[in-house]
Structure 1
């Protein structure tokens, strides 16, 4: 599969799943057991038309647009894009911001107050929402093109992942969550068998943690992912909150317990709580791995012109050796 198609599947995989989750965000699991999401709908929580995507996709598009524009990861430019989204409603379905997490808001305000990009992010252990994980889907595609299939054996790649997270979420738990996610996506790009994906990804992250002792105790927050029986956990053991550890676990559990994109993202939405973000993260993974995103769901997405232009520019910028390889 061409890289352009992988980019398309990853970004639309995230955006479509995000839009599936938006109408039922904050609904609990018991409600969704009685009223399961089975198709793209509208209105609900935010009273928005069908196909509306949230801050998750907006911030991901900010990142992709910046990489496309600069041909590299430019932290000032990424924060400029976040500011355009925050102030002007750029990178949204209809020119209006309707949802933003507290940590992201504080970090963008820091940037607008003149603080350096890599000092803007929130640093306490209480600041480990999923706001950096939800927007990072295009980064492993860039890392794959820059460093090759074994990107996560490069400390420089880890530093880029950490810095992109640090723009809003600077605590070690958030950095490690983004590491694990990017490592999983890179294993998919490598062609690793599904049964071996998580184990192979975690071995890369563990290699980094061993060499960087400050990460060690926080890596333990993700210990359930390291267990062989993680995939066999019952649904009632999976939490779908906005805490980054819960979101990553839930997304991986939905992916590992599905065989196609549709089933994966509907499973994620119907876990309840932070429905759009859990689905967005799961959807990017499933989109890259499975493809086959239902065409009718893609067609229902609002402001496709913006999305398609960014995908086109991002594909042109990182494909065919156009970025500086190591």
Structure 2
């Protein structure tokens, strides 16, 4: 049986392992356990905005909330420190922060809050969307999955490149969650997306930015050629490379954390991919036990998992 809790906790673990070394230069450190201090001077097990944006999404899905209600939850995080490990929001990216200000201060409709600029293609949408893939795992209508993926992305990132990144990521997760082989998924995904994105010409035009992922031999790309920045194209490349070059969830997370730069987000997304791929593996329970504010994590994750199990019955 699919262990949804393991998938969701793996992402939080990846986030927390990466927090102390976020923005650090590659190979100036090595992480193989939960540590503290570092970049943000936080206690070991502290998770960042990656998880703090993911928790409201799960909660909103449980509550059958709309996009406006989800933006309210994002505002509660940024301005009122909800959904945090220790009562303090930190590390919020510029794109996400701008979108929340657009909703809270400028009163934009939720689906127009994301920045449409080509210079606003950070990974702040990608980092929170794994629960949406879980929620849609039994939905066979591809176009419906793509519509919800686009809408949830546009809350914070509206450029077609960011939307295409979400399309690729969530469709990969969808097929992994349904037991398919990652190599085979990558082989079929270009045609799958092109056949289902006829109504999204701008997004489809951005597909070429991600073409390296689908090339034969991508797995063999040299580590020095893998960029682990917050740019959404770099992030997706790095995460898939980490998963392709490891055989377990923990291995994939540590490979990602030690790439440097945007360590928390790259490790969190990598963890989601790896845990959906290696469904018989479990993320290190010691790391899970070291996570801060476990009470909040347990509450939201348990409610989400309970709903998903009920919906599958």
Map residues 43-58 of structure 1 onto 2, 5 A cutoff: 43-58=37-52
Q: Counterparts of 2:109 and 2:201 in 1: how far apart (Å)? A: 26
Q: Deviations over 1:219-268 (max 9, x none)?
A: 11101012011111111111000000000000000001000011101100
Question: Number of aligned pairs?
Answer: 310
Alpha-carbon distance, 1:77 to partner: 1.4
- Contact 2:27/2:258 (8 A) holds in 1: no
Q: Deviations over 1:187-214 (max 9, x none)?
A: 1111112331322344422322355332
- State the SS of the aligned residue for 1:29: coil
Q: Which runs of 5+ in 1 are unaligned?
A: none
Tell whether 2:34 aligns with 1:40. yes
Alpha-carbon distance, 1:280 to partner: 0.7
For 1:104, the equivalent position in structure 2 comes to 96
For 2:137, the equivalent position in structure 1 comes to 144
Q: Counterparts of 1:297 and 1:108 in 2: how far apart (Å)? A: 31
Out of 70, 76, 79, the position equivalent to 1:87 is: 79
- State the SS of the aligned residue for 1:221: helix
- Contact 2:163/2:203 (8 A) holds in 1: no
Tell whether 2:240 aligns with 1:259. no
Map residues 1-326 of structure 1 onto 2, 5 A cutoff: 1-2=1-2, 5-6=3-4, 8-31=5-28, 35-70=29-64, 74-113=66-105, 114-145=107-138, 147=139, 150-151=140-141, 154-210=142-198, 212-290=200-278, 291-321=281-311
- State the SS of the aligned residue for 1:236: helix
Q: Counterparts of 2:56 and 2:190 in 1: how far apart (Å)? A: 28
Q: Counterparts of 2:190 and 2:69 in 1: how far apart (Å)? A: 31
- CA RMSD after TM alignment: 1.6
Q: Counterparts of 2:198 and 2:213 in 1: how far apart (Å)? A: 17
- Contact 1:9/1:284 (8 A) holds in 2: no
Alpha-carbon distance, 1:36 to partner: 1.1
Moved more, 314-323 or 9-18: 314-323
- State the SS of the aligned residue for 1:126: coil
Q: Deviations over 1:113-137 (max 9, x none)?
A: 2211001110010000000001111
